[in-house]
Amino acid sequence: MKNRITRCMAALFSASLIFILAGCSVANTEPISTTAILFDTVISIELYGTKDTAILDDCISMCQDYEDRFSRTIDTSEISQINNAHGAAVTVSDDTIELIQKGLDYGRLSNGYFDITIAPLSSLWDFKNNTGVVPDASAIEEAKSHVNYQNVIINGNTVTLTDPKAAIDLGGIAKGYIADQLKALIEAKDVEHGIISLGGNVLTIGSKIDGSAYHIGIQKPFDESTAITSVDVKDKSVVSSGVYERYFKVDNKLYHHILNPFTGFPYDNNLLGVTIISDQSVDGDALSTTCFALGLDEGTKLIDSLDNIEAVFITDDYELHQTGSNK
């Protein structure tokens, strides 16, 4: 619990840095805001041009509802029901179907380097509790034999895992999806300016009230209080993934949470982090992991093949490599 609180406070500090870099968003206008710990991270929402705090309450309620449905660690969640069904079909809500389908789309786009059935491996490594234990090779082999997004079958509102030992983990895409749903809720209340932050996922609503862009900092790897660079965005998502988010070291070797489905071990490709700038946060979430998995060269090729997507790659020499339609 102490480690979890420490990580969350660090995330809150990082979120604070982002808002500071945003330049206080709007002169002479006080925002309404809320902060909570959900999805094992700090979420923060700041809205401008409204004093209706009920919107913030609705946002927190929405986040709690999604966590209750999407979390693989909550026994009663829809994802847990699928994972514990031993291959039987499970009926779930429209949102869960939509999110799983989006995850499968990125599985196909990445040729399996992004895989929502990574749960057998992510459970084995247990970066959430930072145990500092490298799993046994035979256990890794067994776990990765059950990782294959093609084992997920959707039929209407039912989900079936054709491998009874397979399991879904939506951690690589869920926060982006939730951020987009929060934005839709907020805009439906006629709010046109604000910032949503779900850990490493930042989604801006419109521009600042004066029409200028938000100035969003990208964290320097392994330095929670420092931005390595920043981007100016209006009505965009900025999502970062990197080796510095959850990791441990054994014999001076770093093991991080972005796992290769084909080897069962963390990716080792000379990248420290990837940030995606996109219209939809769900795309930024999935692409930040996908591009990290593909590495600098193949990740750059993927981004250059997509419309309205920009990426910033950070290599292990702390050099920045920017590419994409907004370059």
Query: Residue 193 corresponds to which tokens in the numbers above?
Result: 């300016």
pLDDT attached to residue 39: 87
Measure the CA angle with vertex 282, ends 277 and 283; round to 5°.
50
CA trace torsion 164, 169, 172, 177 (10° rounding):
110
Residue of 88, 85, 93, 82 lying closest to 117 (CA atoms): 82
The full set of domains in the chain, from first to last, is: 2-50+173-324 (3.10.520.10), 69-161 (1.10.3980.10)
pLDDT attached to residue 126: 85
pLDDT attached to residue 262: 97
pLDDT attached to residue 10: 45
Q: Which residues of 41-68 are buried (b: 16+ CB within 10 A; e: fewer)?
A: bbbbbbbbbbeeeebbebbbeebeebbe
DSSP, res 97: H
Per-residue pLDDT 10s for the chain (327 aa) are: 334 434 444 444 444 444 434 444 434 478 999 999 998 889 999 999 999 999 999 999 999 999 999 999 999 999 999 999 999 999 999 999 999 999 999 999 999 999 999 999 999 998 878 778 999 999 999 999 999 999 999 999 999 999 999 999 999 999 999 999 999 999 999 999 999 999 879 999 999 999 999 999 999 999 989 999 999 999 999 999 999 989 999 999 999 999 999 999 999 999 999 999 999 999 999 999 999 999 999 999 999 999 999 999 999 999 999 999 745
Q: What are phi and psi of 254, to 5 degrees?
A: -90, 130
pLDDT attached to residue 327: 52
Measure the CA angle with vertex 31, ends 183 and 47; round to 5°.
5
